[in-house]
Amino acid sequence: MNVPDDLYYSTEHEWVRVEDGLFRVGITDYAQDALGDVVFVQVPEVGAELQAGGSFGEVESTKSVSELYAPVQGVVVEVNADLEATPELVNTDPYGAGWVVLLQPVDLRSVETLLGPEAYRDLTGA
């Protein structure tokens, strides 16, 4: 499984990329592989306030539904509109075109509560 070195990870298998004070969030390669073919992603509204660990959406595959959990506290400033028509981007490019939301974090340092790539590799046996 691909675990890029420049990202932070949650134990619920989301990744966070720090971009100019904002956090881009998606699900990991490990998570998309476990889910199988993704057919629907429910994303929050722009402006939604997410609590760390709170559910903010769902990813549905041909075999199951899985909740999305906010890795940190923040406000949604953008959602990936491409997922409405092409949710399979979560499978084909989980760390790129398959991103889910862009957050304005309440605290930039909240990423330090997350796992680094080494710890996430240990978690997933990757």
**Residue 34 one-letter amino acid:** A
Residues 6+ positions from 49 with CB-CB distance below 8 Å:
73, 74, 75, 76
Tokens of 80: 């990936």
Using CA atoms, how far residue 24 sits from 36, 125, 126, in Å, is 22, 24, 22
Q: Does 63 bind another protein (CB under 8 A)?
A: yes
Q: Does 88 bind another protein (CB under 8 A)?
A: yes
Q: Which is nearer to another protein, 45 or 62 (CB)?
A: 62
x/- site string to another protein, residues 27 to 56, per CB under 8 A? ---------xx-xx-x--------------
Residues of this chain that bind another protein (CB under 8 A)? 36-37, 39-40, 42, 58, 60-63, 65, 87-88, 91
